[in-house]
Amino acid sequence: MKKLLATLALFLVASAAAAAAWTITPVATGTGDSAVLPALAGRYLVGWCAGETAGTPAAATFKLFHGDANNDPRLMPVELLANESRCDWIPGGGIPIPDGLYLDRTAGETEITFYTDLRVALSP
């Protein structure tokens, strides 16, 4: 039982350390597109939170791309209803984005925060 508790404690400490290592990248309210994150080996997108923020509420859409432009590989489209806010976490530890992250706001106005993790490969 002591060994099980020690293993569980080690897992919880490692999980807390991993969560503490996340980088939080807010993107200002607006309608413009931007290269949100530059290329960086070992970076993973683990989640995002977004809200539709227009003065006159309307649906908002955006697309995320792996790279620095909207002609790079598309990761996901997102659609928010008028006045909607939502957070999504990416299962399995996230999506690798070593070539950066590009935000293409296609309709409406949004405020978005991205959560990333940096993982360094360990040598054997």
Query: For the chain, what is the mean pLDDT?
Result: 85
DSSP 35-96: EEE---TTEEEEEEEEEE--SS---EEEEEEESSSTTSPEEEEEEE-TT-EEEEE-GGG-EE
Q: What is the CATH number of the domain that holds 68?
A: 2.60.120
Q: What is the number of other CB atoms lying within 10 angstroms of the CB of residue 112?
A: 23
Rounded to an integer, the average pLDDT of 78-105 is: 94
pLDDT, tens digit (0-9, with 9 covering 90-100), for 49-85: 999 999 888 999 999 999 999 999 999 999 999 999 9
pLDDT, tens digit (0-9, with 9 covering 90-100), for 8-33: 344 444 444 555 578 999 999 999 99
Rounded to an integer, the average pLDDT of 114-124 is: 79
- Domains contained in the chain, number: 1
In this prediction, residue 123 carries a pLDDT of 55
Domain range for 43: 23-118
In this prediction, residue 56 carries a pLDDT of 87
Residue 52, domain member (yes or no): yes
Confidence of residue 6 (pLDDT cuts 50, 70, 90): very low
Q: Cα separations (Å) of 61 from 31, 32, 54?
A: 10, 12, 12
Residue 8, domain member (yes or no): no
Residue 51, domain member (yes or no): yes
pTM: 0.80
